Amino acid sequence: MNLITPTITLAIFLSLLVSISQTKMCQAKNNLMLLFTLSLVPVNPLLNNHKEITLSSSPLIITTTENINISITLDTLSLMFLPIALFITWSITEFSSWYMYTDPHYNKFIKYLLIFLITMLVIITANNMYQLFIGWEGVGIMSFLLIGWWSGRQDTNTAALQAIIYNRIGDVGLIMTTLWLMTSSSMNMQELLIQHETTSVIPTMGLLAAAMGKSAQFGLHPWLPSAMEGPTPVSALLHSSTMVVAGVFLLIRLHPVLYNNKTMMTISLIVGGTTTMFAAAAASTHLDIKKIIALSTTSQLGLMMTMVGLNQPTLAFLHMITHSFFKALLFLCSGSFIHNLNNEQDVRKMGGLLKTSPMTSSFLITANLSLMGMPFLSGFYSKDTIIETMTNSYTNSWTLTMTLIATVLSALYSTQIILTALTGYTRISHNTHTETKNIWHPLARLTTASIFLGMMTKISTLQTTTNTTMPKTIKLTALIATLAGITLSKDLFYTSSLSKPQKSNTFNLFFNQMAFFTIPHRTMTMSIMKMSQQMSTELIDLWTLENWGPHGLSNTLKPIIHMSTQQKNMIKNYMTTFILTVTISLMLCIHMG
């Protein structure tokens, strides 16, 4: 274990770097397949003895207070997530060879995907804050380049800018934490986690802000639906195993720093509950298939954040793993449909796809059922456990209510996609591509993982489970909520008309536009701009220049002139005094004479 694990990890990093340097990227998927198989080797001894290995180079930069070196940590989190990231990137790369086949810069696209993967691997294996920050910024830059891949479109450029700006707001938090640790604690993860008893509120606030930006929590969320302007393989990679999970991963990795701070735990619980409910409500009102799935990601990330707030980082990590597979699968299936329907993304214009693309449709149904938390699919093992844990904990009932509403709504929008896109009659003329092996091989792999991964995790790590006793109703809460959502969605589908676009009601409009797009991108920006304009014109021009400019200077000079000379430049007063004096003198002379 001591020699094999670090050797394999370093081999994976070096192989990926060599892959990027190649000019032709047709072998990328085979390399990733090989690296995925290699990365499975250390998992077996890890599951048996839970050892942790730290690998450090000699210092690269020597300072008086700290030596900076390359240091990687190989523990449960990094060794479990390494094969998952490789597996998903392998599937997405293979899918891209079909989806991006006509793109003239296909090789560059695959290189970008591989660099994206490397930066994520840097985050999960980083053993000090410097390394983590390099990976963190790398993921942000790569997401900017990949979201803005089709840069000829204005919306795409706006979306890429949104992603980088919102993340930069969150990054301020990480920089603040790093600076605090630099002055008060240590950059090294092990040393930092030992000192968690004396942690101040500043680094915990910084970590929470960083995670909120990167994982698109409520308030810093609008960039995630906008990121759908990028190619579908980018959306799949961005939402499953890189970028958005990096924020939650940061909180899981540094959880010992947070868990003593009750204020931060409460804030992350409230933020998670709000995000989960709002994003699920917004997804229920959207009609763009990619945006529905994107908002569903935000909702699931809120669920992970709630678990971090409940002091259950392991459960958050379990949901992160299971979510990766079915989310990548959902995006790739929707990408397949969009490609076949001449880039049509409106679910109302799809229909009858179960007959024209039967395999992709069955994969999409499996992924949606896993997302809902249907029993014995991988999503069930994490989602059901999360809701059970929350119901049995001493948390406030508000968060639990939000999570249960979100569970109902997630079942609602998942069923909505299935019923609208796959059943009924075809509502658009399309050229049906044959489902070649480039499409169904990666989809079949991800489907297999979405079905069996939860069960395999349960078998491998939870051989001796504790018997938690709870009433039957509480045990079935998650399932009841899911079934309620499915029933509601079915009723809505049969009562609403798809033939003509309906006028949005207030509720739909609020979640669709105001809460998620208009307020942060229109109302807030316009009010800030108007306030800035007023400050620059009224305050600076009329008040500052009036008081401190030429007029103000002349006012300050007057008293000095008065003090230094008898002549006060008041000509009218002088003339009046002179005339009065002469007049009085003349009158006196006449009177005397």
pLDDT tens for 376-393 read 899 999 999 899 888 888
The phi and psi torsions of 479 (rounded to 5 degrees) equal -65, -40
Q: Is residue 11 part of a domain?
A: yes
Q: Provide the number of structural domains found in the chain.
A: 2
**Which residue do the tokens 């939650």 mark?**
248
**Does 506 lie in the same domain as 441?**
no
Q: Please check the confidence at residue 2 and state whether its pLDDT lies above 70.
A: no
> ∠ at Cα 132 (127, 135), nearest 5°?
130
pLDDT tens by residue, 394-420:
877 899 999 999 999 999 999 999 999
Using CA atoms, how far residue 369 sits from 341, 436, 486, in Å, is 24, 24, 10
Q: Is residue 328 part of a domain?
A: yes
pLDDT band for position 461 (50/70/90)?
A: low
**Does 303 lie in the same domain as 262?**
yes
3-state secondary structure 280-310: HHHHHHCCEHHHHHHHHHHHHHHHHHHHHHC
**Does 217 lie in the same domain as 102?**
yes
**Does 384 lie in the same domain as 524?**
no
**Which residue do the tokens 């931060």 mark?**
264
Q: Is residue 555 part of a domain?
A: no
Residue 511 token pair: 């979640």
**Does 392 lie in the same domain as 523?**
no
**Does 156 lie in the same domain as 91?**
yes
Residue 546 vs residue 70, higher pLDDT: 70
Q: Is residue 355 part of a domain?
A: yes
**Does 108 lie in the same domain as 181?**
yes
C-alpha span between 284 and 508 (Å, rounded)? 8
> ∠ at Cα 294 (487, 134), nearest 5°?
145
Q: Is residue 332 part of a domain?
A: yes
Residue 516 one-letter amino acid: F
Predicted confidence at residue 219, as pLDDT, reads 84
Q: Is residue 23 part of a domain?
A: yes
pLDDT tens by residue, 295-304:
999 999 999 9
Structural domain containing residue 52: 3-499
Look at residues 548, 566, 585 and tell me which one is the last residue of a structural domain: 548
pLDDT band for position 222 (50/70/90)?
A: confident
**Does 60 lie in the same domain as 122?**
yes
Residue 554 token pair: 């002349």
**Does 454 lie in the same domain as 521?**
no
Q: Is residue 578 part of a domain?
A: no
Q: Is residue 562 part of a domain?
A: no
Look at residues 499, 515, 539 and tell me which one is the last residue of a structural domain: 499
**Does 514 lie in the same domain as 431?**
no
**Does 542 lie in the same domain as 394?**
no
**Does 230 lie in the same domain as 122?**
yes
3-state secondary structure 460-483: HHCCCCCCCCCCHHHHCHHHHHHH
Residue 222 token pair: 């609008």
Residue 297 token pair: 């990601």
